Amino acid sequence: MKTHSLLMPLDMHVHLRDGEMLQNVAKLTSYTFSGAVVMPNLVPPVKTKEQLLAYKERIMLACGLEIKEDEFDEFFDDVGLSGGDFEPFMTLFYDNYSEDFLDEVREDIFGIKLYPAGITTNSEGGVSDFDVEAMRETLETMARMDIPLLVHGETDGFVMDREAEFMSIYELLASNFPDLKIVMEHITTKAAVEMLDKYPNLYATITVQHLLITLDDVAGGMLQPHLFCKPIAKRPEDREALLNVALNAHPKVMFGSDSAPHPQHAKESCGCAAGVFTAPIALQVLCELFDKHGKLDNLQSFVSDNAQSIYGICPEFKEVILEERPFTVPAKYGEVVPMYAGETIGWSIEDVL
Ligand code: DOR
Ligand code: ZN
């Protein structure tokens, strides 16, 4: 039976949520990934050092990770926040933060996530006006401190054009802040792929679903709420462009699942919440896809090595062994329906070392 081993897989964009949902989903990510970039769009959004550290602690506990006594923190001096074989890379919700504040949180954050106001789940407090001068102090300080800016790149225009319309904002940011590392999160268009090579400081993450589906799969037949996410899947030529850079291990492209769990009732309802839940199947599906295209050897770059070089990180050791053996995706994980629920995919997790 064909097997494939991945070292230190990283999910560079994930929603772990909080409370009961966190308890339900966190282990599904920490089981197969060495680390994951955790989105801050909680209610309220993660905007202070106290919120960030407390959230990190809840994540570690939910993952069942060993608490290390030697990793003291001045805010939680009785509980270490790191350890085990999974690292949550914490992000703050963007605001025009002061230099003093950024100085104080630098050691605890991996990046800052910028949402345009109201563009997606829990983003009401995001940026409503991309006024470069108003953002300059924060973005220049971030560049100086080497804090990456992770961006949800959509305007409030026509849904299929939102990402393409946002390209001018990426250009504005990339050219005004050439030393700032900017990650175009969950790109879905050919336009975004083409931006990658235009600016040395622009990078991107790509989800599993956007490599596999187009708008047709979401809304071409019976409406598929579990494939509905933001940005919405686009046209075949967009998917081709994404596949091309992912399969060929473009060095500026990283895997970020954007796995975004919502309870079944919030998806299968009038007013479906945006988000596709892929955490438990992402690596298996990626193996199947890369194998189908004869590109399995490039998967390691896409799911780990590129992110390690781009962000300069050295993740905890983990080896995930996958096998070309059918896996029937469970109908639900707790209250959450995953992508491909009840369907059989071609690859399974054989072991995690
Ligand atoms: O589909 C999405 N779901 N896109 C996002 O940007 C947010 C996410 C969520 O938090 O549910
Ligand atoms: Zn997201």
With the most atoms of ligand 1 within 8 angstroms of its CB, the residue from 230, 262, 267 to mutate is 230
Q: Which residues, 6 or more positions from 312, have their beta carbon under 8 angstroms from its beta carbon?
A: none
Question: Stretch 26-30: mean pLDDT, rounded?
Answer: 96
**Minimum mean pLDDT among 119-128, 143-152, 342-351: which range?**
119-128
Residue 316: per-residue pLDDT? 82
Alpha-carbon gap, residue 266 to 226, rounded angstroms? 10
Local confidence band at 73 (pLDDT 50, 70, 90 cut-offs) = very low
DSSP 249-318: T-TTEEE---B----HHHHSSSSPPP-B--TTTHHHHHHHHHHHTT-GGGHHIIIIIHHHHHHT--PPP-
Local confidence band at 23 (pLDDT 50, 70, 90 cut-offs) = very high
Look at residue 80 and tell me whether its pLDDT is greater than 70.
Answer: no
Taking CA 34 as the corner, what is the angle to CA 75 and CA 89, rounded to the nearest 5 degrees?
Answer: 35
Residue 67: per-residue pLDDT? 52
| 3-state SS class at 218 | helix
In Å, how far from its chain's centre is CA 114?
Answer: 13
| 3-state SS class at 165 | helix
With the most atoms of ligand 1 within 8 angstroms of its CB, the residue from 15, 232, 337 to mutate is 15
With the most atoms of ligand 1 within 8 angstroms of its CB, the residue from 42, 218, 229 to mutate is 229
Q: Report the predicted TM-score, pTM, of the whole model to 2 decimal places.
A: 0.95
Ligand 1 contacts CB of residue 14 (under 6 A): no
Task: Please tell me what DSSP assigns to residue 338.
Answer: P
Which range has the top average pLDDT, 59-68, 70-79, 289-298?
A: 289-298
226 CA → ligand 2 middle, Å: 15
230 CA → ligand 2 middle, Å: 8
Ligand 1 contacts CB of residue 303 (under 6 A): no
With the most atoms of ligand 1 within 8 angstroms of its CB, the residue from 188, 213, 258 to mutate is 258
**pLDDT exceeding 70 applies to what percent of the chain?**
95
Strands 182-184, 202-206: pairing kind: parallel
Question: Stretch 279-291: mean pLDDT, rounded?
Answer: 98
Beta partners for 204?
184, 253
Residue 65: per-residue pLDDT? 84
What residue owns the CA closest to ligand 1's atom 3?
Answer: 275
Ligand 1 contacts CB of residue 59 (under 6 A): no
Question: Stretch 118-147: mean pLDDT, rounded?
Answer: 95
Ligand 1 contacts CB of residue 120 (under 6 A): yes
Q: What is the pLDDT of residues 226-253, one digit of tens each?
A: 999 999 999 999 999 999 999 999 999 9
Please answer whether residues 259 and 338 qualify as being in contact, where contact means their C-beta atoms are separated by less than 8 angstroms: no
Q: Which residue carries 């990046």 as its tokens?
A: 111
Nearest-atom number in ligand 1 for the CA of 15 is 10
Q: What is the pLDDT of residues 260-281, one digit of tens each?
A: 999 999 999 999 999 999 999 9
Q: What is the pLDDT of residues 294-336, one digit of tens each?
A: 999 999 999 999 999 999 999 989 999 999 999 999 999 999 9
Look at residue 74 and tell me whether its pLDDT is greater than 70.
Answer: no
Q: What is the pLDDT of residues 185-197, one digit of tens each?
A: 999 999 999 999 9
Give 113 or 121, the one with higher predicted confidence. 113
Alpha-carbon gap, residue 235 to 246, rounded angstroms? 17
Ligand 1 contacts CB of residue 123 (under 6 A): no
Helix residue spans in 63-215 (DSSP H): 99-105, 132-144, 162-176, 190-196, 209-212, 215
Alpha-carbon gap, residue 256 to 261, rounded angstroms? 14
Q: Which residues, 6 or more positions from 327, have their beta carbon under 8 angstroms from its beta carbon?
A: 281, 284, 344, 345, 346, 347, 348, 349
Q: What's the CATH fold of domain 13-32+39-250+261-277? A: TIM Barrel (3.20.20)
Alpha-carbon gap, residue 17 to 119, rounded angstroms? 18
Q: What is the number of the ligand closest to the CA of 262?
A: 1
93 CA → ligand 2 middle, Å: 12
Neighbours of 305 (CB within 10 A): 18
Would you name the residues annotated as active-site residues?
Answer: 258
62 CA → ligand 2 middle, Å: 20
Look at residue 128 and tell me whether its pLDDT is greater than 50.
Answer: yes
Q: What is the pLDDT of residues 32-59, one digit of tens each?
A: 999 999 999 999 999 999 999 999 999 9
Look at residue 83 and tell me whether its pLDDT is greater than 50.
Answer: no
Residue 77: per-residue pLDDT? 42
Look at residue 31 and tell me whether its pLDDT is greater than 80.
Answer: yes
76 CA → ligand 1 middle, Å: 30
333 CA → ligand 1 middle, Å: 18
Strands 182-184, 149-151: pairing kind: parallel
Ligand 1 contacts CB of residue 188 (under 6 A): no
Ligand 1 contacts CB of residue 232 (under 6 A): no
Q: What is the pLDDT of residues 168-227, one digit of tens each?
A: 999 999 999 999 999 999 999 999 999 999 999 999 999 999 999 999 999 999 999 999
Task: Please tell me what DSSP assigns to residue 216.
Answer: I
> What residues does each domain of the chain span?
13-32+39-250+261-277
Ligand 1 contacts CB of residue 230 (under 6 A): yes
Q: What is the number of the ligand closest to the CA of 205?
A: 2
